Amino acid sequence: MIKGITTIRHVAGSKEFKALSKLFDAMGFERGTPWKTARGQGAPFKVPLGQIEFVEGLETLHADIWIEVTDLDSISGVLAKENVKGAEKIQATAWDSRFLVAEPAKGSKILFWQKNRPAEDAIEGDLNARGMRFGIIVSRWNSFITERLLQGALDALRRSGCSKEDITVVRVPGAFEIPSQARTLAESGKYDAIVTLGCLIRGETTHYEHISTEVTRGIGQSAQETGVPHTYGVLTCENLEQALDRAGLKAGNKGFEAATSAIEMVNLQRKTQNRAKTKAMSKKKKSKGR
């Protein structure tokens, strides 16, 4: 029955409205549908998860908008870059988290908080690509976009220490042809990971759903069946504007992200495979000793 929750803040004036909207854009919030009438305007911003919480007792709440984030230091950086006045220093809570309070517009205090990393030793891949070999498959359809994705991917790999000679770029006609080449490169045994880059625009293809489903399935299947990490930098967009945003403008560069994920996956796979090997060896030793 319950569908969602919207916390509405009435801001002091259009200056504050603009300042808050600009800041929330800079922090990467997804915009909802804005509205404007003769009596005012609204700018909704969406969050992946929301809740309403009632609090009783002596706890100091600092602000009535609380935003949980995954990287508080980056938020602090955005606040500094956007010149937000009244952004306080990061503080520790008594409940294993950190927070900071900012007042981006008069009367609108926002508390940003992040849970401290759990103490368990999660296995994660780091972002050092030295000595790794990557195959990048990029489709030529919408090359205006895909070449930007390629530049983003190359930038990520080179900045992370991968040498030029260890990167092979293969161009295919359209997104539909990406999976077969991904599998060919993966099966060659020459690459630690495969980065796939393409751009499907709904307006340009009546069979958009079919192609995008097939491309996604094919890339996933190649990854699972070859055991070589594949990352997905194929844009599936409604229009050119969305594609441009994801290829280096507002929403970052998905080619850069796909390459970064590939580096992380290679490092992660090496770690988990080593752990699995070590476990198997100690099991063998134990059973021999019996």
Q: Which residues bind ligand DLZ (CB under 6 A)?
A: 139, 141-142, 173-177, 198-201, 204-205, 211
- Judged by CB, which is closer to ligand DLZ: 110, or 211? 211
CB 24 within 8 A of CB 82: no
252 CB-contact burial (10 Å; exposed 0-12 / middle 13-18 / buried 19+): middle
Distances (CA, A) of 169 to 138, 191, 290: 7, 12, 52
Per the structure block, which two tokens stand in for 245? Answer: 């945003």
- Judged by CB, which is closer to ligand DLZ: 114, or 139? 139
- Judged by CB, which is closer to ligand DLZ: 35, or 144? 144
Measured from the CB of residue 261, what is the shortest distance to ligand DLZ in angstroms?
A: 20
Q: At what angle do helices 143-159 and 254-289 cross, to 10 degrees?
A: 50
- Judged by CB, which is closer to ligand DLZ: 182, or 200? 200
- Judged by CB, which is closer to ligand DLZ: 21, or 236? 236
Q: Is 207 a catalytic residue?
A: yes
> Cα-flanking dihedrals φ and ψ of residue 42, to 5°?
-135, 140
Which residue number is nearest to ligand DLZ in terms of Cβ?
A: 174
Measured from the CB of residue 232, what is the shortest distance to ligand DLZ in angstroms?
A: 14
CB 194 within 8 A of CB 134: yes
Distance CA 290, CA 285 (A): 9
Measured from the CB of residue 237, what is the shortest distance to ligand DLZ in angstroms?
A: 9
Measured from the CB of residue 235, what is the shortest distance to ligand DLZ in angstroms?
A: 9
Measured from the CB of residue 212, what is the shortest distance to ligand DLZ in angstroms?
A: 9
State the catalytic residues: 207
